[in-house]
Structure 1
Amino acid sequence: MDEPIDAKFDTRNDGDVRDPNAGVLKPRHAATLIVVRDDGDRPRLLMGRRNRGLAFMADKWVFPGGRVDRGDYAAPSASELSPDTAARLALEPRHPSPARLARALALAAVRETFEETGLLLAKAAPERPGAGAWRPFLAQGALPDLAPLAFVARAITPPYRTRRFDARFFMAPASALLSLERQPDCGELDEIGWFDFDQARALDLPNITRFVVHEAAQRLADPGRPAPFMRFLHGARQLSYL
């Protein structure tokens, strides 16, 4: 039986531990996308394996994602976040521009998925010029599609890590992808694949990814489930719901 999401949670076995005498880094905003296929006997998740030469979570299987780029705040899109997803994100602790940040997080999840897997959560559109991180995406003749995104979870990397992220996890159906075929010359992950939940749990996963795999299964059974928020305060793990 898989552990519940409020079971003991610790990421220290994922490597990259900070010197306890060093200052605590402020986490950077980041976003991750869980793409789910339902065209088989069981739901399957899109996951990729990180390069074994990386300093952070080397050789681990993860969902595609990464930190928010400044271009994510102004990138065009074919649709906006659904009212439900926007409302769930608005329940987070205050930010200077909650709606603007929520949109940037969603766009970051879509962009990073394209960069790491070559798959586009998008609508077909005329090719258009783009700048910075969005140039390759917009050159595909596509605009990001934000409407299918559901907000699944949030987690902040513990303060003892040398890389810290304030990550939001989104989920979307694979039917919203422009195609299941990867775009050529795209894909930063060493290997990608579609795995059912039992297969995913058997992979070499970071603990936070295992936590979110469990949450994704729960969310498919209960789409109205509150989103868990995992963070560390005063050295102790805290779990709340948004």
Structure 2
Amino acid sequence: MAEAANDKSQGDNQYRDEQAQAVRPKEAATLVIVRQGSEPKVLMGKRAASHVFMPNKFVFPGGRLDAIDQRISVPSDLSDPVIGRLQKETRKNVSNHKLRGLALAAIRETFEETGLIIGRKTGQKLTTNNAVWQRYFDHGVEPPLDKIDFIARAVTPTYRNRRFDTRFFMIFDDFIQTDPDDMVKASGELLDLHWLTLSETQNLDLPTITRWIIDMVDQRLKLSRDAQLQAPATYVRFINGKPRITTL
């Protein structure tokens, strides 16, 4: 499942059911991979027309948080500024293992949906009983959690029949351990996977939240990498049907 959030574009009303009981949002994570060059590019793919949630929309890779993402043991951890932002506006009983798990979910889902291995070479032999994570570890890599940035959080409005509480993470292509143009091992959940400049993305059929995230990425790229990890994140949620945007 790729990204989750609000879509106020044309056709959004097909999801509206004002009489339905509000669905509790599921935890999810999305990864924005920035490919460096004369003009930065991001990886996006198109959701199939058969998908109930955001069909035919272009999104970043990502999906739901799995239990294994919270339990798995890896050498590195999120930087203090990033974990601090993730802790804001969360329930007191939400553990750092779960917050770290969201970043790991973004890496795992990207691996599954695109075939790309986002990681850092390690001399340690990492093992797990989870088949997907073991395939990832078999490449001799570890998740570069200390270099991943947390840039935004968005919760799907209550009137949608599928809701997600999504954290958006960002990382650079330094950590792609495979050919960034070779995505033959992609799961097929995202179609038309392409590296696109930020200006090229504006011509796509995007959810509104995705357009906002692209603007956030554009602003973040004007900072040094160290400053990016320190910069605040944006939190988008809906109160009585109206968006409320705060800073984390």
TM-score range, shorter chain: 0.7 to 0.9
Secondary structure of the residue aligned to 2:112 is: helix
Aligned residue pairs, count:
233
Which of residues 231, 237, 245 is equivalent to 1:231? 237
Q: What residue is the counterpart of 1:88 in the other structure?
A: 85
Q: CA separation in 1, counterparts of 2:7 and 2:194?
A: 26
Change (3 A) 1:72 1:127: closer
1:78–1:123: 8 Å Cα contact kept in structure 2? no
One-letter code aligned to 1:173: F
Q: CA separation in 1, counterparts of 2:183 and 2:146?
A: 22
Q: What residue is the counterpart of 1:34 in the other structure?
A: 32
In the superposition, the TM-score normalised over structure 1's length comes to 0.88
1:133 Cα shift? 4.7
Q: CA separation in 1, counterparts of 2:132 and 2:27?
A: 16
For structure 2, which runs of at least 5 residues remain unmatched after alignment?
A: 1-5
> Any idea what the Cα deviations from partners look like across 1:43-68, whole Å, max 9, x if unmatched?
11111111222222112111001110
1:143 Cα shift? 2.5
1:78–1:122: 8 Å Cα contact kept in structure 2? no
One-letter code aligned to 2:241: G
Q: What residue is the counterpart of 2:185 in the other structure?
A: 185
Secondary structure of the residue aligned to 1:221 is: coil
Secondary structure of the residue aligned to 1:147 is: helix
2:9–2:207: 8 Å Cα contact kept in structure 1? no
1:37–1:44: 8 Å Cα contact kept in structure 2? yes
Q: CA separation in 2, counterparts of 1:202 and 1:158?
A: 25
Secondary structure of the residue aligned to 1:104 is: helix
Q: CA separation in 1, counterparts of 2:103 and 2:126?
A: 21
For structure 1, which runs of at least 5 residues remain unmatched after alignment?
A: 1-8
One-letter code aligned to 1:154: R
Q: What residue is the counterpart of 1:195 in the other structure?
A: 196
One-letter code aligned to 1:239: I
Q: What residue is the counterpart of 1:52 in the other structure?
A: 49
1:36–1:174: 8 Å Cα contact kept in structure 2? yes
Moved over 6 A (4+): none
2:78 matches 1:102: no
Give me the CA root mean square deviation: 2.1
Change (3 A) 1:17 1:210: same
